Amino acid sequence: MALLLYSTATTMSLWPAKRVRMPDWLAAFDLAVSIVMPLLVTSQLDPDAENGYATWYVAAVGTLMTITAARRQLTAAWLGVIALAVQSIVWAGPFSLGGLGVIGSIVWVGIAHMLTSALTSAARETRRYAQAEREAAAWQAAQDAHLFEGRMRLAHTNRLAAPMLRRIADRGGALTAAQQAECRMLEAAIRDEIRGRMLLTDAVRFEVQRARARGITVTLLDEGGIDDLDEATRNRVLSRLADAVAGSSADRIIVRTAAEASPVAVTVVGLREQVGDVADTDEAEVELWLEIPRAF
């Protein structure tokens, strides 16, 4: 009976499984076998006699509990060998631990415990290093993207500003009223490239320039709220933005991206100054209020 229990428990414990950690129910079964098996065998033996190979159960319990410890059920493994030691002391006295091989079983469980802890720690460190490597790669990719974007915007700004700067230098700073107005428009466009970032498409740039030509003050503020949108969604959002700017008759238009967690992607506010009032946002009349959602 004891041999049958041991064979069953060992086979089940060594059976291939998806998880390294032994299921709790199997650990409980192994612990029960390690307690019952010595009782069954020693009930047929004389503690004062030389029992020889008849004490095979000691090595069997040690082997089973070593397997249990290797499969990360350390509590059950230690309880099993402790129960073996207690049973051996009760049955044959404390001096029997060495002769029966109980100490060897305890040592093997201790070795399995140390190896399991070391492997678990190594696996945890490996996962941590892998996560750190992924984060570093993502950070490097983001930095490269920002650097590339910065170079592109710098080149675009240079294309916008260089002709006007050469014209100013050639004329010694003496510009006509029309040229001064063109400089102000150019300055606003460069400011858009810096502060507008992802809010800018060719359609948005065109409608913003048209609005400024009509005398409207347009402010674009991209605070990173639409960086996570895919290109198709962002294009739909910015198409709505271009239409809103084109159809507004406000004196001032403020465009701002919403927070990333918000269902709104972009907020557009158009303000019309009250006649005779000081141009102040708190006293201006709201001519346009539009919240463009992330999803349509």
Residues 209 and 98 in one domain: no
For residue 279, the model assigns a pLDDT of: 46
Q: Are 75 and 52 in contact (CB under 8 A)?
A: no
Report yes or no on 223 lying in a domain. yes
Report yes or no on 141 lying in a domain. no
Residues 191 and 124 in one domain: no
pLDDT in tens, 68-120: 999 989 999 999 999 999 998 988 888 878 878 899 899 999 999 999 999 88
Q: Measure the CA–CA gap between 188 and 209, rounded to whole angstroms.
A: 9
Report yes or no on 166 lying in a domain. no
For residue 203, the model assigns a pLDDT of: 93
Residues 126 and 13 in one domain: yes
Among 12, 11, 8, 5, CA closest to 26: 12
Return contacts of 12-21, CB within 8 angstroms, 24+ apart: 13/64, 13/67, 13/68, 13/71, 14/67, 20/71, 20/72, 21/71, 21/72, 21/73
pLDDT band of residue 65 (cuts 50, 70, 90) is very high
Rounded to an integer, the average pLDDT of 27-44 is: 89
Residues 100 and 183 in one domain: no
- For residue 235, what are the contacts with CB-CB under 8 A and spacing of at least 6? 201
Residues 13 and 122 in one domain: yes
Say whether pLDDT at 7 is over 60: yes
Q: Are 285 and 249 in contact (CB under 8 A)?
A: no
Tell me, yes or no, if the pTM score tops 0.75: no
Report yes or no on 167 lying in a domain. no
Say whether pLDDT at 276 is over 70: no
Among the candidates 75, 99, 131, a domain finishes at 131
pLDDT in tens, 182-240: 788 888 888 888 888 889 888 999 999 999 988 899 999 988 888 888 889 999 999 99
Residues 17 and 102 in one domain: yes
Report yes or no on 243 lying in a domain. yes
Q: Are 40 and 1 in contact (CB under 8 A)?
A: yes
Place of tokens 């509590």: 75
Report yes or no on 210 lying in a domain. yes
pLDDT band of residue 15 (cuts 50, 70, 90) is confident
Cross-strand partners of 20: none
CATH assignment at residue 186? 3.30.565
**Residue 94: domain span:** 2-131
**How many separate domains does the chain show?**
2
Residues 7 and 126 in one domain: yes
Three-class DSSP labels, 118-129: HHHHHHHHHHHH
Q: What is the mean pLDDT of the chain?
A: 86
Cross-strand partners of 292: 266
Who has greater pLDDT, 160 or 78?
A: 78
Q: Are 69 and 120 in contact (CB under 8 A)?
A: no
Report yes or no on 168 lying in a domain. no
pLDDT band of residue 281 (cuts 50, 70, 90) is very low
Residues 114 and 28 in one domain: yes
First to last CA, the chain: 71
Residues 67 and 185 in one domain: no
Angle between helices 102-170 and 56-70 (to 10 degrees): 10
For residue 283, the model assigns a pLDDT of: 65
Among the candidates 131, 163, 194, a domain finishes at 131
Asked which of 173-177, 194-198, 277-281 is least confident by mean pLDDT, the reply is: 277-281
Report yes or no on 149 lying in a domain. no
Residues 7 and 109 in one domain: yes
Q: What are phi and psi of 77, to 5 degrees?
A: -65, -45
Strand order, beta sheet including 217-221: 217-221, 252-257, 264-272, 285-293
Who has greater pLDDT, 280 or 166?
A: 166
- Four-residue CA torsion sign, 161, 164, 168, 174: negative
Among 134, 136, 10, 21, CA closest to 70: 21
Residues 195 and 272 in one domain: yes
